[in-house]
Amino acid sequence: MNSVSFSGSFKSDIYIKSKQKDDFAEKKAKIVELDKNNENDLESLHNVSLLWSKESSNFVPYLFSDFIKDNEFKPDVNQDHCLILTLQDDNFENIDPKKVLGVTLFSEEDIENELNWLQVQPKNNSVFAPSNRRYKGVGRAIVSYIKNQYTGKPIYVNSSNTAINFYKKLGFETYDKDCPCSLHCEV
């Protein structure tokens, strides 16, 4: 019988906003890092992708694909980090996809860092479902966590057109005037 190792490493408490009647109040959530060598973590990420694809189109399948592939084509990548923001309080070796509010893939590189993917649960996305939102600040909380944890090198992101203003509000600036989706932030 094969033993299965579990991961889902807790990283930090983080605060977002949760809808309470007609207003939003502070709510504690967790940042958890998944391990690409852990079958349970990969299954959890896959299940998030399946769940969110029922709600709307999402980037999680692409994030998943990038996360599991070897970095042989990106020799300057030291380590990829797949982080989730979840309302789950414990038992991170068994992530409940219904409690995941955001997912990101972040790469630590030699000279700079890259925010490869950032996806907020589609039904809580302010662009696609502004009136149905139950949570606010999910994407902001994930980016803030990354900016606070991985200092000393700029963070680059190739944003979708709909997210450019989101990143600019978080201190990112366009670095290529011919490509407004190419942004970076000094940390």
**Whether 12 contacts 31, CB under 8 Å:** yes
pLDDT of residue 154: 93
For residue 19, list its beta bridge partners: 24
> Is domain 9-151 in CATH 2.40.50, yes or no?
no
- Mean local confidence (pLDDT), 168-178: 92
Distance, CA of 35 to CA of 80 (rounded, Å):
9
Q: In whole numbers, what is the pLDDT of the chain averaged over residues? A: 86
Biggest alpha carbon–alpha carbon distance for the chain: 57
Residue at token pair 């990548």? 77
- pLDDT band of residue 5 (cuts 50, 70, 90) is very low
In tens, the pLDDT along 27-85 reads 999 999 999 888 999 999 999 999 988 877 778 888 888 888 765 555 555 688 999 99
The dihedral through the CA atoms of 109, 113, 116, 122 has a sign that is positive
Domain ranges of the chain: 9-151
- Mean local confidence (pLDDT), 108-116: 87
Write down the pTM of the prediction.
0.87
The CB density around residue 170, as the number of other CB atoms within 10 Å, is 16
Residue type, 78: N
